A = this chain, B = another copy of it.
């Protein structure tokens, strides 16, 4: 995703890869982003990604560049590269004395489209193996939920292993509660109820996380956002991970605990596949 293998990059609508070294995105990670699957030219769940960018910009006091600037860029890239992963970054741009905000702020928008990831497609059926990360997430409610460009905690966690058989690492907060994967949100099923960690103190409120919660509720499942301990995670009946690129990955194994791929996870996965397909149909009819 951050590799040199980007198909194409647009900066403020222009095809180029050159960010000014004094852009605050590069100076301080002063920006936010979202990652979107492009399938047959359609940016899946585009209105939700747009809403998340707008919400995260508001939380970071960054002026939202507006759909009228973003949509033409997205259309250009999706037409040229109909299957891939689109990353949209919005930074606070250039200026300001030190950390102080520029006045006025002129944001930078960077859209980069990348090849689809090379994950084996069967992972979605057979599930994955995950590990527990030693690196933890610091607690800061002011930044919780935001997909901001300060990602060193995730990078150091992801650096803990190189074994390709392990697809993801589970991160705890500094108090020891389960929060998420390094690049995914976490769900567990216990006695028929769907649980996911509250994202009110740290972690990313992923778009696929909110789609999963909404879908489960629409199908009549009980859903709870709560503090989850490691003991509760081990005691779960089923566990799965979500993000907008993988959609769902069942967790087959976590350390010494084997869950297999559970029936409720499979059912939720079917609902989410249908939802994504409907996105494409709606786009073609719209």
How far is the CB of A29 from the nearest CB of chain B, in Å?
3
Residue of A89, A112, A138, A143 most packed against chain B (CB within 10 A): A138
Which B residues lie within 8 Å of A28 (CB)?
A: 2, 29, 149-152, 154-155
On whether the beta carbons of B25 and A158 are closer than 8 Å, the reply is no
- Stretch from A91-99, A121-129, A214-222, A276-284 contacting the other chain: A91-99
- Mark contacts of A1-21 with chain B using CB atoms, 8 A cut-off: 1 yes-contact digit, 0 otherwise: 111101001010000011111
Which B residues lie within 8 Å of A153 (CB)?
A: 140, 142-143
Which B residues lie within 8 Å of A137 (CB)?
A: 140
A158/B101 contact (C-beta < 8 A), A138-B139, A143-B138 known: yes
Whether A192 sits at the interface, judged by CB under 8 Å, is: no
What number of copies of this chain does the assembly contain? 2
List which A36-86 residues lie within 8 A (CB) of chain B.
60-61
Of the candidates B95, B96, B117, B155, which one forms a contact with A101 in the assembled complex, judged by CB atoms under 8 Å apart? B155
Chain B's closest residue to A154 (CB) is: B99
Which B residues lie within 8 Å of A103 (CB)?
A: 162
Given known contacts A30-B151, A103-B162, A148-B152, what 11 new A-B pairs fall within 8 Å (CB)? A2-B94, A3-B96, A4-B22, A18-B20, A24-B155, A26-B26, A28-B29, A60-B152, A61-B159, A143-B156, A150-B152
The 4 A-B residue pairs with the shortest CB-CB distance in the complex, in nearest-first order:
A29-B29, A138-B138, A138-B140, A150-B150
